[in-house]
Structure 1
Amino acid sequence: MAGEKPSVELCKGVNGLDKVVLRDALGSSAEVYLFGGHVTSWRTDHREELLFVSNKAIFKPPKAIRGGIPICFPQFSSHGNLEQHGFARNKFWSIDSDPPPFPSDSSSKTFVDLILKPTDDDFKIWPHRFLSFSQQFLLLVCHFVSCFLFFFFCFLIMLDSFLLQVASTCVNKYLIFYYSYEFRLRVALGLGGDLMLTSRIRNTNADGKPFSFTFAYHTYFSVSDISEVRVEGLETLDYLDNLKERERFTEQGDAITFESGVDKIYLSTPTKIAIIDHEKKRTFVLRKDGLPDAVVWNPWDRKAKAMPDFGDDEYKHMLCVEAAAIEKPITLKPGEEWKGRLELSAVPSSYCSGQLDPRKVLQG
């Protein structure tokens, strides 16, 4: 309610999972689960929920939560060797009580900083790992011993081969691999109840090797009826159609409306996109930075019935429009940092009457 003091509270959520509840002075709120660094709620000062979370969502790790804003990292969808949408949404994050200076253009005091720290299991599923100095030194010693034995004791060639095999096994089995990234996330409530997410990913490799990743804020918006929704700002753009083996097409000049399932990756998109809900007389304005692509997804009836954590008819009341970096993976050299920012606003539909005026929304 209006007049409340801004607050950040750590408490228990579904199934006893830790979550952080943000509340601003005007009554807007957001909830973030530490499991997945996952925003599951964003409410207006009138307590109206703006994000969709399935009634069948499974709040039981390691299963990702269906709805809200899952974070897809270091892989979007199934386009790679990792599990669907990577592992960030399936990991437990920690509250970062003493983060480094966080660049932001907002004066919001209602925020939480999270950090995703590598676990011992991460190197098994993501190949961006490296040997520590001691491990490299051990391999170098083994190499010189091998050369010495080869040149001066030819009859020990068989033993030489065995020695190398044993050394390699020891390095991989008993010595620690140090993971190569640092992922920091700030979730904040801005003026007017805007929701802001800022991700910072840094390459912390010590061996000089870069790594690449794809990324998306997989945002599920709550809508009145998918047939009453249109998306503006993506007209005439090229897109990859995931329902047609990622074949490339060009969008028509009209706003995007929905009569069947959709799974498209729009390329080189503007920094602002509008999602207009005619029945609720509400427009979501999505602003993004560092995220050139945008995904539009709705499973429709057949796929909805095939998902155990999604209601058969819930597709009618949700739409995913996701700020993303997919077509051209982000590559970071050691010490480099990437930042991807998403800002969501909900405004009355009078803000967009008739055809959307780009000067008022998409550029304003």
Structure 2
Amino acid sequence: MDRSHKPSALTPSTTGPQPSVHSEQGRVIATLPTGDSVEVLLYGATVVSWKHNGRENLWVSKAAKLDGSKPVRGGVPVVFPCFGPPPKDHATSALPQHGFARNSTWQYLGKSSSESGKLASGGDDAVKLDFGLSSAELSEDAKKAWPYDFGLVYSVTLGKDGLQTMLNVQNKGKESFEFQMLLHTYFKVDDISKVSLTGLGSATYVDKVLNATTHTQSTPSLSITGETDRVYTAIKQDTTSILQDGKLRLDVIRDNLVDSVVWNPWIEKAKGMGDFEPKDGYKNMVCVEVGAVDGWQKLEAGDTFEGGMIVKSHL
């Protein structure tokens, strides 16, 4: 895939240890000198592990398929170009739920230092991994279902205090297209009954558990006490924070995105999903998913769109 802003190569430093990056069996693993690490499958460019200070921050189902046979249940699946079941009257109507990005095999485009990003002050503090997907790499079925010429570059940056994931969408064709995108992140928590989310107060949301009715969140914090499936739109605050026992655990910072989904399947829905294990795993996860899902993003020929998140750990 051609990239107009190809990152410079990681320059070895003589002043100390450098991040290590290696690929094996369809995955890329990066580790900082601190021991922090990130692991990304080429299938779906799905981040399946992010460890900070020896602690895993992402939840992955024990029954998740990591062999490319179906989208991964857990981690950070990439949703593109449609969120949820596509509408019948739209150009994405022939695509499966959540589109094709999460069940396509991406190319690993290489690593670079990240000295100018929000997560790094020097080349040994962070490493950026780039993954690419274009129309040429899609299955024949996906090409027929969505026949646009596009290019995606997904950048995963591991920093000493956080993780950044950014999706760059380029329209390489001669006609405009519409899309939605979402980073369907499953965060690992100790006990969902002691978790609260802040940063969504006064925001409008569509509650899919309540027949897709529209509501406004009246409380400054949200607790998960049952099945939760809310699409928050036009959120004014950039950061949604996850608190455990009243203590700040993770900050999820939207970058050029104003929508977020909050999801937890709870008891019955977890039982009904064959790839959700253990069945009481809902007690140890919550999805906070940044995206552009309220309506459609229109991208003219030759234009690009970029959006993503920075997640900071407070442990």
Please name the residue that 2:257 is paired with. Answer: 291
Is 2:54 aligned against 1:87? no
Tell me the distance in 2 between the aligned counterparts of 1:11 and 1:120.
23
User: Deviations 1:105-130 (Å, cap 9, x if unpaired)?
Assistant: 4545412111012225122222xx3x
Between the aligned residues of both structures, percent identity stands at 32
Please name the residue that 1:251 is paired with. Answer: 217
Is 2:41 aligned against 1:33? yes
Is 2:264 aligned against 1:324? no
1:85 match: secondary structure: coil
Which amino acid counterpart does residue 305 of structure 2 have in structure 1? W
- 2:111–2:129 contact (8 Å) kept in structure 1: no
Count of residue correspondences: 284
Is 2:200 aligned against 1:238? no
User: Deviations 1:179-232 (Å, cap 9, x if unpaired)?
Assistant: 41100011111232x1111110000113xx210111111000000111100000
Equivalences for 1:92-111 in 2 at 5 Å?
Answer: 92-97=105-110, 104-107=117-120, 109-111=126-128
> Structure 1: which 4+ aligned runs deviate by more than 3 Å?
101-109
What is the aligned counterpart of 1:221 among 177, 184, 187? 187
1:305 match: secondary structure: helix
1:266 match: secondary structure: strand
Tell me the distance in 1 between the aligned counterparts of 2:288 and 2:119.
23
- 1:102 deviates by 12
- 1:4–1:26 contact (8 Å) kept in structure 2: no
Judging by fraction of residues, say which structure has more helix. Answer: 1
Please name the residue that 1:149 is paired with. Answer: none
- 2:39–2:47 contact (8 Å) kept in structure 1: yes
Judging by fraction of residues, say which structure has more strand. Answer: 2
* Distance verdict in 2 for CA 1:300–1:111, change over 3 Å: same
Given the two structures, how large is their TM-score scaled by the length of structure 1?
A: 0.74
Tell me the distance in 1 between the aligned counterparts of 2:293 and 2:116.
24
5+ residue gaps in structure 1? 13-17, 130-178, 349-364
2:190 match: secondary structure: coil
- 1:4 deviates by 5.1
Tell me the distance in 1 between the aligned counterparts of 2:253 and 2:220.
21
Please name the residue that 2:311 is paired with. Answer: 344
User: Deviations 1:57-90 (Å, cap 9, x if unpaired)?
Assistant: 1223230011000000001112432212111000
Please name the residue that 1:48 is paired with. Answer: 55
Tell me the distance in 1 between the aligned counterparts of 2:255 and 2:309.
7
Decide which structure has the larger Cα Rg and report it: 1
- 1:97 deviates by 4.0
Tell me the distance in 2 between the aligned counterparts of 1:231 and 1:306.
26
Tell me the distance in 2 between the aligned counterparts of 1:264 and 1:4.
43
Which amino acid counterpart does residue 125 of structure 1 have in structure 2? A
Please name the residue that 1:191 is paired with. Answer: 160
User: Deviations 1:213-267 (Å, cap 9, x if unpaired)?
Assistant: 1111100000011110000000111101112332111111231001100000011
Tell me the distance in 2 between the aligned counterparts of 1:260 and 1:97.
42
1:256 match: secondary structure: strand
What is the aligned counterpart of 1:306 among 261, 272, 278? 272
User: Deviations 1:28-66 (Å, cap 9, x if unpaired)?
Assistant: 100000000000000013x21110001111223230011
2:166 match: secondary structure: strand
Please name the residue that 1:7 is paired with. Answer: 20
5+ residue gaps in structure 2? 1-15, 88-92
- 1:62–1:91 contact (8 Å) kept in structure 2: no
